[in-house]
Amino acid sequence: MTDLKDMVEQIDQLEPVPPIAAQILALTEDPDSSLAEISDLILNDPALTANLLKICNSAFFSLPRQVESVRDAISLMGLDQIVEIVLFNGLSASFKKKMVGYGLGERELWRHAVSSAHVAGILADRFGASQNKQLIYTAALVKDIGKLILGRFVAFSYEQINILVQSQGQSFNDAEHEIIGMNHEELGALVGKKWNFSDKMIYIIRHHHLSDESARQDLETALVYLADIICMMMGICTGADGLSYRFYGDVLNEMNMSEHDLQGIIAEAGKNQQQVEMLLNL
Amino acid sequence: MEQNQMKANAVSMMTAVNLSEMKISRNPAETLVAFSIGSGIGVTVFDPVSSVGGLFNFMLPDSTQASGVNSEKVPLMFADTGVPFFVQALFEQGIQLDRMKVVIAGGAQFMDQTGMFNIGEKNYGALKNGLASYDIKIHHEDIGGTDSRKLSLEIGSGSSCIKIFGQAEVKV
């Protein structure tokens, strides 16, 4: 078994989410926060402000006029969009790295993350409570953060993990836990803690494959799980783990999601995939 | 002659065939690739006489099941509308029915994904029905399980390759 202490120490070596992204996230989850507070926070970071204005004025958004200030950007594009850009800005460097253990090339985990977040947004609109959309979107974006560290340990133990998956029918994350001593959900939760994510965000990262029965009752976690499942079915940058995870049909039944709904959401996600690809290059 | 020589010397070229797309080629230096197939299915067709081949990569079984999406705009997203679209395009390029070599790969499913939510299995059924309606036979298939797959077709040799992570490539 791997030395877990060694693995946990590597959290410090990850390129962290800039504190500003974590602060903004906390503010958007707080119903009492104001627009002014959020724009002040962004303004305190000149590099982020410059980058944000550059992205807002890029051809991708094709806004009717030039955006000249952070507050202007928020009022024109909406707070959700600005928070997304700030998060992308903070996370993409780490997620774009090649991950040998999971069989993912450069940018592939990032593509999966952004696509999952997009699908999670569609699911949140249809099946979630509207005030939680940002949380669900962001949780889907960061859910695999544990893979950033675990990848190299998976590379080392892939054959053993694969034997448990193929011959004993274990899911990939259970096999990771058994062989390495920790899976990417558990390690991801530790990273989230270190980076001061909210308790709810950490919970979703920790349970996004729903192995724990109580997590299946939690709507936000279930929606992030489904977003992940849908992207894997679509084959969006599925790697060494393939589709080796458990499917919980009861979770869909409990949300009153029919077969018709599921196929409709996959079709919608597929239709939007080109737009998602453009987001990846921002 | 000179043109053929140029083709032979050209560096082989990979063309990605994304979800809900098809590509047809007669360029011997070209390889068509569906890089990551999950529950959807990739279909390669090659005609050794005309040396034309195509790859079609669809995602869902039935266009009437997907509310909110107009299948006329994205016929290649679905087996029921995509198969006729693909086959028609192959005919237009001179491929003949009795010379078609067909390889299919994909249709993966999650563990315990049984019953109505099993889209991989439904895709397989819908594809078989679609091909059978033209009397098209499948020469090789690699379907189901929890693996995601890469499927490619070398136009130069007419070979299809199926690759699963951690396993040797299967060439047919």
Checking DSSP bridges between strand B160-164 and strand B140-143, what pairing results, if any? unpaired
A92-106 confidence digits (pLDDT tens): 888 898 888 999 988
Q: Looking up tokens 């990771």, which residue turns up?
A: A176
Q: In the numeric block, which tokens belong to residue A64?
A: 């009717």
Chain A residue closest to B68 (CA)? Answer: A264
Q: Is B123 on the interface with A (CB under 8 A)?
A: no
Chain B residue closest to A171 (CA)? Answer: B111
Q: In the numeric block, which tokens belong to residue B29?
A: 């230096």
| C-alpha span between A152 and A14 (Å, rounded) | 13
More confident residue, A78 or A245: A245
Determine whether the interchain pair B66/A266 forms a contact, defined as Cβ–Cβ distance below 8 Å.
yes
Specify the pTM.
0.91
ipTM field: 0.91
What is the least distance, in Å, from the CA of A122 to any CA of chain B? 13
Determine whether the interchain pair B38/A162 forms a contact, defined as Cβ–Cβ distance below 8 Å.
no
Checking DSSP bridges between strand B52-58 and strand B170-171, what pairing results, if any? unpaired
B29-59 confidence digits (pLDDT tens): 999 999 999 999 999 999 999 999 999 999 9
The type of residue at A121 is: G
Q: Is A161 on the interface with B (CB under 8 A)?
A: no
Q: How confident is the model at residue A46 (pLDDT cuts 50, 70, 90)?
A: confident
The rounded mean pLDDT for chain A is 89
Q: What is the pLDDT at residue B10?
A: 55
What is the least distance, in Å, from the CA of B135 to any CA of chain A? 28
Chain B residue closest to A160 (CA)? Answer: B166
B137 DSSP assignment: P
Q: What is the pLDDT at residue A2?
A: 63
Determine whether the interchain pair A243/B66 forms a contact, defined as Cβ–Cβ distance below 8 Å.
no
**Residue A130 CB-half CA count within 13 A:** 0
- Give the Cβ contact number of residue B9 at 10 Å: 8
B58-93 confidence digits (pLDDT tens): 999 999 988 778 888 999 999 999 999 999 999 999
B85-137 confidence digits (pLDDT tens): 999 999 999 999 999 999 999 999 999 988 889 999 999 999 999 999 999 99
**What's the mean pLDDT in A239-243?**
93
**What's the mean pLDDT in B10-21?**
88
Residue A189 near residue A205 (C-beta atoms within 8 A): yes
